[in-house]
A = this chain, B = another copy of it.
Amino acid sequence: MDQSRITQTTAVCRRAARAAPEVARLASGTKDAALEAMASALESSAESLVQANEADLAGARAAGSSETLIDRLTLTSGRIASMASGLRAVAAQPDPVGRVERGWRRPNRLLIEEVRVPLGVVAVIYEARPNVTADVAGLCLKSGNVCVLRGSSTASSSNRAIADVLIGAAGNEGVPAGAIELLDDPERSSAVELMQARGLVDLLVPRGGRQLIDTIEAQATVPVIIDGDGNCHVYVDRSAELGMATSIVLNAKTQRPSVCNAAETLLVHDAIADKWLPGVLAALSAAGVAIKADRRVHALWPGAEPASESDWATEYLGLTLAVRVVPSLDEAIAHINHYGTSNAEAIVTRDIAAARRFAAEVDSGSVFVNASTRFSDGGEFGYGAEIGISTQKLHARGPMGLRSLTTTKYVAWGDGQVRG
């Protein structure tokens, strides 16, 4: 390659790739000390981080950004404290690197071990939230990977300030230069370059909306894990405990409607529809939820808007819920497998056979029996933090923690074995 034409993205990826073997070999104690130092440094730099953030906020306001975006972008001392506690939670997780996942001896006495190892260079493309900078840096370091962070231009001042604090603190604890890299010029071209940095990037995780994912699916040549849509379902079975069903539906829809594990469609067994639906629809309406109803639901709740075919496939990410009455568990499972996006689905039931069939036959990353879909989350799973929620089947599925950022290698120990 013509050296004069190397872009910033390529240069950064090469620096990261050079650091990768050393980061892969870091002792757990070094990594944990660095994570603690990074957490403390964020806390003690809170004032300057808030200042850097104000520059981004001013730019976003001048550009007429939405209040939602402004909210996501804003750093407060509380949010900085959350980043620090996230890093400490990651430090408290067991180190996945070097774990022998399984091992066995062959008849020829070859001892084969499958050992967990870092991936190498993990790149993450993300949008407005600056806290992702710290989350990803922490998860990658603990899992022995280097990270290449590519945030949005809206948050570039905040991200640079956070990354500098993290890099400084990690460096003081013996983490090599290049372990945490942030692209400074987050133009669209740098995202595409990252997607195509084959041989330099071992994994790319896009954390963003449909447009980013479509671009990745069309253009990426590096290995990718898709953190995709969340068209999540709650199915209330005929045998459900109705109070529990109401509580789970309200939680799944309203506790934080803007996130991917919030419920978008409620499926209700016909046998309990007349008795249970009016009450839960009243409670949802009282909570500000607009209902999109099939004909049967509409008859019970005439104020609802009729649902169209596209409603069953829509991730509202807001206070709207599509509601359908189904004649059977089979129909509920078929509906979910047709319209779902493999993120999280829940059943409310007292019938163990229905629960087991739903768990086995619903094709999704996470299936919840008598619990809210909102638990599809790395933190709620106990992973300390999450790199995302995989909606694909290869490599990792569902909430992704440290293990998803690793691969394995086989190490076979012999005493001269040759093949006959």
A-side residues, CB < 8 A to B, are: 21, 25, 104, 106, 110, 112, 115, 119-120, 202-203, 217, 221, 223, 225, 241, 244, 247-248, 250-252, 255-256, 337, 355, 359-361, 363-372, 374-376, 380-382, 392-395, 397-399, 407-419
Q: Is the CB of A409 within 8 A of B202?
A: no
Q: Is the CB of B413 within 8 A of A203?
A: no
How distant is A110 from chain B, measured CB to nearest CB, in Å?
6
How distant is A109 from chain B, measured CB to nearest CB, in Å?
10
Number of copies: 2
CB-defined contacts of A255 to chain B, threshold 8 Å: 418-419
Residue of B nearest to A356 (CB): B411
CB-defined contacts of A376 to chain B, threshold 8 Å: 410
**CA–CA, A418 and B251, complex, Å:** 6
Q: Is the CB of B414 within 8 A of A371?
A: yes
Q: Is the CB of B106 within 8 A of A382?
A: yes
**CA–CA, A225 and B392, complex, Å:** 14
**CA–CA, A363 and B23, complex, Å:** 14
Q: Is the CB of B375 within 8 A of A412?
A: yes
14 new A-B contacts, CB < 8 A, other than A248-B418, A397-B410, are: A21-B363, A217-B221, A225-B394, A244-B416, A256-B419, A367-B409, A369-B411, A371-B416, A374-B419, A375-B414, A375-B417, A394-B395, A398-B408, A399-B410
Residue of B nearest to A359 (CB): B411
Residue of B nearest to A249 (CB): B418
Q: Is the CB of B248 within 8 A of A393?
A: no
- A337, A399, A417 pick with most chain B CB within 10 angstroms: A417
Residue of B nearest to A381 (CB): B112
Residue of B nearest to A241 (CB): B416
CB-defined contacts of A375 to chain B, threshold 8 Å: 110, 412, 414, 417, 419
**CA–CA, A21 and B359, complex, Å:** 13
**CA–CA, A88 and B368, complex, Å:** 37
Q: Is the CB of A393 within 8 A of B223?
A: yes
Residue of B nearest to A390 (CB): B407
Q: Is the CB of B382 within 8 A of A412?
A: no
Residue of B nearest to A377 (CB): B419
**CA–CA, A202 and B417, complex, Å:** 37
Q: Is the CB of B411 within 8 A of A380?
A: no
Q: A372-B418, A375-B419 are in contact. Are A120 and B393 (CB under 8 A)?
A: yes
